[in-house]
Amino acid sequence: MPLSLNRLDCNGESIGKDFHHYLSCHLGRFQDGPPVYFYHALAYALRNRIMPDWSRTAAGVGSVPGVRRAYYLSLEFLMGRALGNTLLNLGITNETEQAMLDYSLKLEEICEHETDAGLGNGGLGRLAACFMDSCATLQLPVMGYGIRYEYGMFRQHIEDGHQIEDPDHWLRDGNPWEVERSEYTQRVHFGGRSDAYHDAQGVLRMHWVDTCDVLAVPYDMPIVGYRNHTVNTLRLWRATATDEFDLSEFNAGSYTESVRDKNNAEHITMVLYPNDISENGKELRLRQQYFLASASLKDVLRRWQSLGHVEFAQFAQDNVFQMNDTHPTIAVAELMRILLDEKGVSWGLAWDITTRCMAYTNHTLLPEALEKWPVSLFERLLPRLLEIIYEINAHFLREVSLKWPGDVDRQRRMSIIEEGEVRHVRMAWLAIVGSFSINGVAALHSQLLKEGLFRDFVDLWPGKFNNKTNGVTPRRWLAHANPGMSALISSRIGEDWVADLTQLEKLKPLADLENKAFHADWHATKHANKERLAALVRAECGVTFDPAALFDVQVKRIHEYKRQLLNVLHVIHLYKRIKHGHLDGWADRCVLIGGKAAPGYAMAKRIIKLVNSVADVVNNDPDVDGRLKVAFLPNYRVSSMEIIAPATDLSEQISTAGKEASGTGNMKFMMNGAATIGTYDGANIEILEAVGEDNFFLFGLRANDVEALRGHYQPQTYIDADSDLREVIDLLAAGHFNPCEPGIFDMILDAVRSPHDPWMTLADFRAYVDAQQQVARAWQDQASWTRMSILNTASSGFFSTDRTMQEYNRDIWKLQPLPH
């Protein structure tokens, strides 16, 4: 009899029964057991219900030759929790809630027991997660490939105002969503040397020999589409030692040495590097990158060949790879190596195939993010890959010199190998040379890339470059995170907006002030969300937020370019205004700041300390009397953003113009009805265009102003010209916030007072304070604020990753959706 799976019932009774079965028969627990097992039992019950559609989706995509597929290669997938979102996408939240109530359990509390899958740092990793959700919802045959880190993003707690990092052993209790597929294990090579030989036809070929191998074992996670029976796959690789690793040494009596080798293999996928943006050039990181690229490419080739394909010329018609930043771009050289060395394809055909199936997304212009690996490291770790990169470069430089004969300077600039005392491989250049599509992540960012960093390449290949403005998935970030507002929206415009966010436009007429009932409902929903956040802040920070006050929020990775410091300077200014009794146009505010600093980023860590020190003074000064509250929320992550975004009135997006490639936090806030105070940067510009300047608090220098000012920036002139700024700087310099720890904020003062401050924080102080004063005045008219809030949500349709994915598909991937 053929094995086939039938869909299980999704009614409450059936889910409840399965839940009980898993809890007692599988996990051996009962209702008085640790509540984390309720989560596991429910997750298993749902997994059963996903499995038939999952295997049918895989079969539909996998068994039909000629179905073109895309692969999203990313070192990061910041997935967060799966349970609540899965229920939403399956459309069985209410039934499940009821089923749990029958066991006297609250679904919301069960969901709290799921540990976030924190396999990413910030925006880049979360983008990959939102893309996965949208691809499944659009029924696009897209598979994610990533790394199953044993330890994800570190957990942050605050001690004496300082960030302390704790390891995130997220798999400790097991992961009910993953399916290990050891049958698809791949072997990845490292080290060794390259060896020439003549094949049976007498052709000179290369072999990579004497390698030190590591096994890549795949773990699959289901990506459930929104109510469409499509379940795509995120495949995460775990490194493990080869079976034969220990035999020789074991037989030679060095048992412990052989186990050490095993550990070395497993180290590759032990920990996520916690640096957002900046790279630190560690060998293990390059190992991770190659491990992901090699295992994923081999897996794709295996599947493609298993469908009966033999003509490699066809490969690029069937497959396309999207590389999330330069992190996985060693894939360009690895695909060449596999085709040349393992499949016997000629150089010309291999290069044609590679450059027709690779596409690259750039995520930042900041120079510290540009990955460069020392040639010597490549030589030791990936000698065969280095040879191939040299040959790619030689072919490429020939093309450059044909187009610009004698332009040696251009050749030097464009070379994949950077010359110098230490020679480096420029990964971004490898990606550009090897890809048919190169995109930035917001209109301004793509424009700046073309004018700056990538200019030489644009001259050579203008058609390769394009823009794909980021988005966020409205399932997680509105429907799931904000059930109150979702229900309100659906009650007025129906439910179709969840899969077609442009429908939110229909809310625009309801924003008019005469729609009193809708306004009242909208305001009440916001208020309830603010109570939920206030409870979290109270529990985590011991600070009481009044939901009637303006919730002014900046949550994101702590980085100087994002200018949390500018926010703090404004808070100090507000504090001074209270002390002076300058309360004209005042709005009571609760300022929330949250985010992780890279463990090696001393300045970012000191900024966290400053936020906490300022919060201590402000929150404990009786003169402040509830007019201002400040809190630093520890351990900012996906599940906390699900509570924060729906409760925010004012979204802080205040990066130095030209530095934030896109931002996606800005979109989550907008979707949930927050107004933005922001610079003319990244996707802020497109948000401003969508919602209109009357509903956005724009301030500050533009990207071209910033560049024009560079070289003659004089922060002291801003201090001299502005008594408010002077007062803030003086208070900081006097040690008002650090009486017991003199000097700890000197590094911050020195940075903002330096003519070399790349972020030009003080240049934007006055404009920022003025814009904040406009915010306060706008807040005083609550009816018109609610109108602005509704208009923000109503105008956010463009920022759905459904739109982003449709654009990637239209311009780059060219996949056919596969209806179930």
Of positions 638, 690, 771, 790, contacts ligand PLP by CB under 6 A: 638
Q: Please name the residues in contact with 217: beta carbons below 8 A apart, sequence gap of 6 or more.
A: 180, 181, 182, 185, 237, 238, 239, 240
- Asked if 475 interacts with ligand PLP (CB under 6 A), we say no
Query: Counting contacts by CB under 6 A, is residue 637 touching ligand PLP?
Result: yes
Nearer to ligand PLP, 15 or 674 (CB): 674
Rule CB under 6 A: is residue 641 a binding residue for ligand PLP?
Answer: yes
Catalytic residue, from 126, 372, 526, 562: name it: 562
What's the burial of 711, exposed, middle or buried (CB within 10 Å: 0-12/13-18/19+)? exposed
- Going residue by residue from 532 to 561, which x/- string records binding to ligand PLP, judged by CB under 6 A? ------------------------xx----
Q: At its nearest, how many Å lie between ligand PLP and the CB of residue 220?
A: 24
126 near ligand PLP, rule: CB under 6 A: yes
Q: Is position 122 an interface residue for ligand PLP (rule: CB under 6 A)?
A: yes
What does the alpha-carbon distance between residue 538 and residue 505 come to, in Å, rounded to a whole number?
36
Catalytic residue selected from 126, 155, 557, 787: 557
Cα–Cα distance between 51 and 54 in angstroms, integer?
5
Q: Is 664 a catalytic residue?
A: yes
Closer Cβ to ligand PLP, 161 or 663, answer by number:
663
**How many CA atoms does the CB half-sphere of 745 hold within 13 Å?**
27
440 binds ligand PLP (CB under 6 A): no
* Triad 419, 422, 423: Cα angle to 5°: 40
d(CA 752, CA 425) in angstroms, rounded, equals 34
Least distance from ligand PLP to the Cβ atom of residue 668, Å:
6
Residue with tokens 């109503």: 794
Taking CB under 6 A as the binding criterion, the range among 315-323, 374-382, 498-506, 664-672 that sits at the site for ligand PLP is 664-672
Residue position matching structure tokens 């979702």: 486
d(CA 468, CA 804): 6
Q: Report in angstroms how near the CB of residue 472 gets to ligand PLP at its nearest.
A: 7
Cβ atoms within 10 A of the Cβ of 509, count?
12
Q: Minimum Å distance from CB 477 to ligand PLP?
A: 8
**198 a catalytic residue:** no
Residue 736 appears among annotated catalytic residues: no
592 is a site residue for ligand PLP (CB under 6 A) = no
Kindly report the number of other CB atoms within 10 A of residue 35's CB atom.
Answer: 14
Is 161 a binding residue for ligand PLP by CB under 6 A? The answer is: no
- State in angstroms the smallest separation of the CB of 645 from ligand PLP: 8
Contact 329, 431 (CB under 8 A): yes
Q: Residue 74, interface with ligand PLP (CB under 6 A)?
A: no
526 tagged catalytic: no
- Expressed in percent and rounded to 5, the helix, strand and coil fractions of the chain are 50, 15, 30
Please report, in angstroms and rounded to a whole number, the separation of the first and last CA atoms in the chain.
Answer: 24
- The answer to whether 689 and 678 have CB atoms below 8 angstroms apart is no
CA-based angle 199:205:207, to the nearest 5?
105
Three-state DSSP state, 652 = strand
Query: Near ligand PLP by CB under 6 A, which window of 156-164, 321-329, 535-543, 661-669?
Result: 661-669
Which is the catalytic residue, given 556, 559, 573, 659?
A: 556
Residue nearest to ligand PLP (CB): 665
Q: Which residue do the tokens 């048919």 mark?
A: 436
Give the active site residue among 363, 530, 570, 606. Answer: 363
From candidates 664, 672, 761, 792, binder to ligand PLP by CB under 6 A = 664
Smallest separation (angstroms) from ligand PLP to the CB of 688: 16
Question: By C-alpha distance, which of 606, 597, 607 is closest to 563?
Answer: 607
Is residue 663 a contact residue for ligand PLP (CB under 6 A)?
yes
Q: Is 274 in the site for ligand PLP (CB under 6 A)?
A: no
Q: How far apart are CA 703 and CA 443, in angstroms?
A: 13
| Six token digits for residue 278 | 């900046």
Closest distance of CB 556 from ligand PLP, Å: 3
Which residues does the annotation mark as catalytic?
Answer: 363, 556-557, 562, 664, 668
The residues of the shown chain that bind ligand PLP, judged by CB under 6 A, are 122-123, 126, 556-557, 637-638, 641, 663-665, 668
